[in-house]
Structure 1
Amino acid sequence: MVTYNILDLSPIPEGGTAADALGRSTDLAQHAERWGYTRFWVAEHHNMPGIASSATAVLIGHLAAHTETIRVGSGGIMLPNHAPLMVAEQFGTLETLYPGRIDLGLGRAPGTDQATARALRRYADAADQFPQDVAELIAFLDSRPGETRVAAIPGAGTHVPIWMLGSSTFGAELAAILGLPYAFASHFAPNMLEDAIAVYRRNFRPSDRLAAPRFAMAVNVYAAASDEEAHFLRSSQMQAIANLRSGRPGPLPRPVADLSAVISPNLMPMVEGMQRVVAVGAPATVRRALAAIQARYEPDEIFVVSAIHDHEARLTSTRLAAEVLADLPAAAAAQ
């Protein structure tokens, strides 16, 4: 069985509030735990009117406190926005409070626009320091308390699991060199998916943290009673992408029956291209799509991504996805 997880951006629904979004994320995590999901990750974004997960470590603590067994983590923390020591302290604290349940996924993008990046005190060359920052962070988490002059307290000796995130071959290469698990953002940037997988698996070096490559990919999943209903639910995210690319980010729109009425023909190919790693439809349709994705890319883990405006519809989609994913075979590369 493939390991199946959730990546949640805590979408703020049109007509709703950030409090609604955070409450829905909490409820979703609790249901996901009962339905057999292994991980529940939230992502760092800033100055995004439709995303409520900006204070990612704070939200992870809240989610862990309101669940019992599911692993909770970041998909991811944008490390150049932060000092490695502070990230080690934050996630060391989380691991100390919720031992064996915390994941730390790392990315190097700002997770926002350039003006907001400056407000975060992110320097222009911060991304260039990413490999060194990752190594420094690992050292803080893996050193023994008292072993170094500067220590993360809590954090030292916690060995919080670290995942490298990426949408290009850069993260894949770094994950391979450092011997870390790798997760690809195929839910919005699928163009370099196959290249990144090949780079990661070909160049992987075993480490104290990981003996063999472990690859995860994010898949857009919209499941419902019928194909028509699932496509209707998906229309919210399609609109959100078009709005973002048009410079008009906002709350997650309500679904529409006719996307051509709200997305221009010039934008539609780009929106569809970003969403092409997708399983959308009734359970049988979703099963065929996920089985094809699993057979083609052989991920060890799949992250379900589904921004759906109606919370009950999202819960239904998440439950149906779990039922399908529970029957998928494990990746051949993990045998």
Structure 2
Amino acid sequence: MKLGILEQMPTPKGKTAEDTVAETVALAQHAEQLGYERFWFAEHHATKGMASSAPEIMMAAVASRTTQLHVGSGGILLPQYSPYRVAAQLLQLQALFPGRIEAGVGRSPGGAERVRSALADGKENQLSEYPDKLEALVRYVHGEQSNGVRATPRTEAAPAIYSLGLGENSAEIAARLGVGYVYGHFIEPSRGEATHEVYRQQFTPGNLSAPHALTAVFVICGESDAHAEELATSQDVWLLRTEKGLDSRVPSMEEAKAAKKTERDQRKIEENRKRMIIGGPDTVRKQLLYFSERYHNDEWLILTNIHDVEEKRRSFERIISLF
């Protein structure tokens, strides 16, 4: 079992963005000491609580403060950007930290249309161009020409490219272009088996010589199942509010417990639990092994979005100790 961390960097209520950034860097250093394989950063914009809006910068900050940890993005919003510019940033990182850069890219618009438009400098929606932009990105990072131009610096090896997705169509794109694939179980938990199967069966060598899939999932590992359930209260309410477009800062357990929830809210919380693994060490181990067997994949990116930073750290400590 190979374990990594995917950080959305949600800010706990009562903390600042500066606090969250400092605590995230410290967590990455601790994760390396614990034996985690990789540490990736999401890209979110125009939210009150998400502090990771520029994964490339966070990658550089963490890579400069660690020695072996693979750092990555999960993921850069490629449809909104120039593949050449993204490739140049990745190659610069690769030159600084050879062999440690992993670039996850996705086709998300990045939020509401006004957010997408601001990211793309007013250009029309380009989500349909994602496969072409991904192909161009792969060519650029390998030193090949695209539109008569080569990206620089020209590193000895290319950074690994991963495409993020939620189903069979995205898996087909990643397989056809020979890049890695990240399945977002933490967003869409119902299509994992078919998606992983499509990626494995249809993969053709390209950026990578062999298929390499990761699965991203919310995990909270407490001292016991009851303790984990208590910790999960803040994540439950955070996710509920975030999906409604409300305050995306993480509430304390006390605030989360006191929050008024309609019957519809409660049903949504229960539905969202399918996107998570929550329990004590034995429960978490069994669930990770269960999904690893179902997906025929034992590499994971773990998200833990709870209010208490120390409990979050201890959850990661318990998880890595299981394997």
Q: TM-score range, shorter-chain basis?
A: over 0.9
* Deviation, structure 1 residue 219: 1.9
Q: Which runs of 5+ in 1 are unaligned?
A: 327-335
* Deviation, structure 1 residue 192: 2.5
Q: Per-residue CA shift, 1:53-86, capped at 9, x if unaligned?
A: 1011111111111111100000111101211111
* Deviation, structure 1 residue 292: 1.6
Deviates more, 1:230-239 or 1:117-126: 117-126
Q: Distance in 1 between matches of 2:238 and 2:294?
A: 28
Query: 3-state DSSP class of the match of 1:191?
Result: coil
Partner of 1:305: 303
How many residues are treated as equivalent by the alignment? Answer: 322
Select 1:222's aligned residue among 220, 236, 242. Answer: 220
Alignment of 1:1-335 (within 5 A): 2-120=1-119, 121=121, 123-143=123-143, 149-155=148-154, 158-205=157-204, 207-256=205-254, 259=257, 261-324=259-322, 326=323
* Deviation, structure 1 residue 286: 1.5
- 8 Å CA contact 2:223–2:281 kept in 1: the answer is yes
* Deviation, structure 1 residue 260: 8.2
* Deviation, structure 1 residue 148: 8.4
Q: Distance in 1 between matches of 2:287 and 2:258?
A: 24
Query: 3-state DSSP class of the match of 2:52?
Result: coil
* Deviation, structure 1 residue 323: 0.9
Q: Distance in 2 between matches of 1:320 and 1:258?
A: 24
Deviates more, 1:296-305 or 1:20-29: 296-305
Q: Distance in 1 between matches of 2:12 and 2:256?
A: 19
* Deviation, structure 1 residue 122: 5.8
Q: Distance in 2 between matches of 1:243 and 1:156?
A: 43
Distance 1:113 1:71, change over 3 A: same
Distance 1:110 1:31, change over 3 A: same
- 8 Å CA contact 1:187–1:275 kept in 2: the answer is no
Q: Distance in 1 between matches of 2:171 and 2:68?
A: 29
- 8 Å CA contact 2:241–2:248 kept in 1: the answer is yes
- 8 Å CA contact 1:5–1:40 kept in 2: the answer is yes
- 8 Å CA contact 1:164–1:181 kept in 2: the answer is yes
Distance 1:188 1:262, change over 3 A: farther
Q: Which runs of 5+ in 2 are unaligned?
A: none
- 8 Å CA contact 1:141–1:159 kept in 2: the answer is yes
Query: 3-state DSSP class of the match of 1:162?
Result: strand
Q: Letter of the 1:15 partner, please give it.
A: G
* Deviation, structure 1 residue 261: 4.6
Query: 3-state DSSP class of the match of 1:268?
Result: helix
Q: Per-residue CA shift, 1:286-325, capped at 9, x if unaligned?
A: 222222222222214111111121111011000101111x
* Deviation, structure 1 residue 249: 3.1
- 8 Å CA contact 1:216–1:302 kept in 2: the answer is yes
Q: Distance in 2 between matches of 1:83 and 1:34?
A: 36
Q: Distance in 2 between matches of 1:202 and 1:101?
A: 27
Q: Distance in 2 between matches of 1:42 and 1:13?
A: 17
Deviates more, 1:262-271 or 1:18-27: 262-271
Q: Letter of the 1:246 partner, please give it.
A: K
Q: Distance in 2 between matches of 1:182 and 1:240?
A: 27
Q: Letter of the 2:137 partner, please give it.
A: L
Q: Distance in 2 between matches of 1:125 and 1:288?
A: 42
Distance 1:215 1:147, change over 3 A: closer
Q: Letter of the 1:178 partner, please give it.
A: L
Deviates more, 1:287-296 or 1:65-74: 287-296
Q: Letter of the 2:135 partner, please give it.
A: A
Among all aligned residue pairs of Structure 1 and Structure 2, give the percentage whose two residues are the same amino acid.
Answer: 33
Q: Per-residue CA shift, 1:118-163, capped at 9, x if unaligned?
A: 111264431111111011111111126x998422222565411001
